[in-house]
Amino acid sequence: MGLTKKDFTLLIIVACLAIFAPFILNPFPEGSAMAQFNAGYPDLMQRLVIFGIFAIGFNILFGLTGYLSFGHAAFLGVGSYAAIWMMKLLTMNVIPAIIVSVAVAGLFSLLVGWISLRRSGIYFSILTLAFAQMSYALAYSVLTPITGGETGLQPKYTDPRILDGALEPGQTPRANLFGLDMKQSFELEVADWVFTFNAGYYVAAAVMLIAFYLSIRIFRSPFGLMLRAVKSNQQRLNYTGLNSKPYTLAAFVISGMYAGLAGGLLVAMDTQVGAERMFWTASGEVVLMTILGGAGTLIGPILGAGFIKYFENIVSKINESILHQWFAFMPDGIEDFLVAIVYPFIGKGWHLTLGIIFMLVVIFLPGGLVEGGQRVARLFKRKKPADDKPDGKTTPAE
């Protein structure tokens, strides 16, 4: 497959994690006190892999070239709108929607990148943020016939789908892959555990594996080496006579196409699109994912996306009543005290906990979660035996 042994092993690990995610994310039996920490339900699993794709693409731009974009949500939103219009006009099959979402996001990112890459540093970041906010404003209030404005867009049975048959009045159009419903699920019960296998998740996971494989090839290619040179010292690279702009623009477009792919998959899983996907907070979220996981690493963005989405969907659900159940074995005064201490960091306050974790990672683990894993691995790694002779004498170097 054109990969080194180390990269191929990493690809296999990611594939195994994706395949066995319903088991890995549901470690606790149903009905137990810890079951609320299970994350193996279809909607969350889909978001884990889709935002993993989003972060992988952003990492190609930021991790390799060092260009920090604050406007990548614009490409996510444009890809989503392109996909939903394909479902309204052509077919509910997800393949055309995904292909068009990638193409349209690529064209839009070419325009944005051609303008924004005339500047670097903070000026580049502000330009991309401006484009994203302009796109959000257009989608929210100006282009309402195309975007649906505040209410968004979703397929209707009255839409003129050219390749699909007519639907009965009131029937809900469903995204599918050649007839396979994206919401179709199968549940496996083993003792007190319930594992859900969802068709839409495995479609998104397969696309994520392809996207991850392509990112490895980009990282290891001469093109990736040129992008690293841009990040290291772009001015010195220009002094050698090489024009770095085509490389940075190509990286920007590829990154935008990844974002469009994620947007198309979001529509394939949940056929409703709103302008909120283009808001600046969505752009900031992918920055957090990449830095938290490890910018410039291969698997880091996937880990960062999974970590943040887990916090957003699991930790945010813990409320005061659950905390009282946890500390019910303690005296009333201590129970109330612990609940009062812990509650600001969970539920609606999960952002506070995430912010603290992010600060700690930036300060103590600049390489993100990947660096943390490497440090832990080094702790358990056996020391290699010394090459010195038993008598303590060493052989002079030749």
CATH number of the domain residue 51 falls in:
1.10.3470
74 within some domain: yes
Is 238 in contact with 256 (CB distance < 8 Å)? Answer: no
Tens digit of pLDDT at every position of the chain (398 positions): 788 999 999 999 999 999 999 999 999 888 887 888 889 899 999 999 999 999 999 999 999 999 999 999 999 999 999 999 999 999 999 999 999 999 999 999 999 999 999 998 899 999 999 999 999 999 998 899 899 888 889 998 888 889 887 777 878 889 999 889 999 999 999 888 989 999 999 999 999 999 999 999 999 999 999 999 999 888 888 888 888 899 999 999 999 999 999 999 999 998 889 898 898 889 999 999 999 999 999 999 999 999 999 988 888 888 888 888 888 888 888 888 888 898 888 888 888 988 999 999 989 988 899 998 888 888 888 655 544 445 555 544 43
92 within some domain: yes
Q: Rg of the Cα trace of the chain?
A: 24
264 within some domain: yes
Residue range of the domain that includes 155: 38-313
373 within some domain: no
20 within some domain: no
CA distance 40 to 32: 15
Is 280 in contact with 265 (CB distance < 8 Å)? Answer: no
31 within some domain: no
Is 281 in contact with 311 (CB distance < 8 Å)? Answer: no
- Strand, coil or helix: 93: strand
396 within some domain: no
Who's near 385: CB < 8 A, 6+ residues apart?
A: none
The tally of domains found in the chain comes to 1
Q: Name the pTM for this structure.
A: 0.91
Who's near 318: CB < 8 A, 6+ residues apart?
A: 36, 346, 347
230 within some domain: yes
